[in-house]
Amino acid sequence: MSKDMPLNRFEIRLSGLGGQGIITLGKIMGQALALDHGYYVTQTQSYGPEARGGASRSDLVISSSPISYPKTISLDLLVALSQEACNKFFTNLKAGGFLVVDTSMVAQTPTNIFLGLPLTDMARKIGLVQTANIVTLGALTHFLPFMRAASVRKSLKSILPSKIIDINIKAFNAGFNAAKKEYPDAPEKWTSS
């Protein structure tokens, strides 16, 4: 598929626990897609009163034309970094939509068709468990044919504080490479949006 593929309301939900960096992940992805890829993007969020723990989610709507309704309607892609999130939001996935799970956090998936990587374990191996969101970002950059790694890295650098850039670039590359190795043909599977 072409790198500049036209999208009509491609809807993504990033979900997990508070403190996993879900909102930051959405912000980096959204900024890369909006400013560097030139898509129209709305990123919305929902969170509980807890700063750590509790449910957290960030939704993205990506389109080639201006977006009216900013929230998601039915998901093309659900990313679940916790069992609770996976159970809760799986039903919002449209028929043919993709599920990406963190296999170190999600013990059982509601379907056998999913893209799974031990994202949190990978982050732990890198040396900072808080980079699980950026490992996820790396994997998603491989999975989604319309995302360019160079642009995402640029967005990453502009949003995160310079002190922690190096380890996060490492996390991004780890996620990207692992996804490429495990699921080399994943980007080809997107037939419609």
Partner 1 sequence: MANKTKKKKQTEIFALGNEAVVEGALLAGCDFFAGYPITPSTEIAEEMARRLPCLERGVFIQMEDEIASLGAVIGASLAGRKAMTATSGPGFSLMQEHIGYACITETPLVLVNVMRAGPSTGMPTSPAQADVQQARWGTHGDHPIVVLSAGDVQECLEMTVTAFNFAEKYRTPVILLLDEVTAHTREKITIPDPEGLYIYSRLLPSMPPEWYMPFEDNMRGVSAMPPLGSGYRYHVTGLTHDDHGYPTSKPKEVESFINRLFRKIDQFFYDIQIVDEIQCGDADTCIIAYGCVGRSAELAVQMARERGEKVGLLKLKTLFPFPRPVVEKMLRQCSSVLVPEMNMGQISREVKRVNNGLSKVNTLNRIDGQIITPGEILKKLLKG
- Which residues lie near partner 1 (CB under 8 A)? 26-27, 30-31, 34-35, 40-49, 67-71, 73
Which amino acid is located at 54 in the chain?
G
Number of DSSP helices (H) and strands (E) in the chain, helices first? 6, 6
Pick 46 or 64: Cβ nearer partner 1? 46
Shortest Å distance, C-beta 44 to partner 1: 5
For residue 27, the minimal CB distance to partner 1 (Å) is 6
Minimum Å gap between C-beta 47 and partner 1 is 6
Output DSSP code: residue 131.
Answer: G
Q: At closest approach, how far in Å is the CB of 65 from partner 1?
A: 11
Name every residue whose Cβ is closer than 8 Å to that of residue 81 and which is 6 or more positions away in sequence.
Answer: 14, 15, 16, 17, 20, 22, 101, 102, 105, 106, 119, 120, 132, 133, 136
Q: Which is nearer to partner 1, 94 or 180 (CB)?
A: 94
Closer residue to partner 1, CB minimum distance, 46 or 104 = 46
Cβ contacts of 88 within 8 Å, gap of 6 or more: 15, 55
Q: How far is the CB of 163 from partner 1 (least distance, A)?
A: 18
Which one, 48 or 127, has the nearer CB to partner 1? 48
Q: How far is the CB of 72 from partner 1 (least distance, A)?
A: 10
Nearer to partner 1, 71 or 181 (CB): 71
Query: Can you name the residues that pair with 77 across neighbouring β-strands?
Result: 12, 98
Concatenated DSSP letters of 70-104: -S-SSEEEEEESSHHHHHHHGGGEEEEEEEEEETT
- CA nearest 135: which of 117, 148, 147? 117
Query: Position of tokens 């036209």?
Result: 6
Shorter beta-carbon distance to partner 1: residue 40 or 114: 40
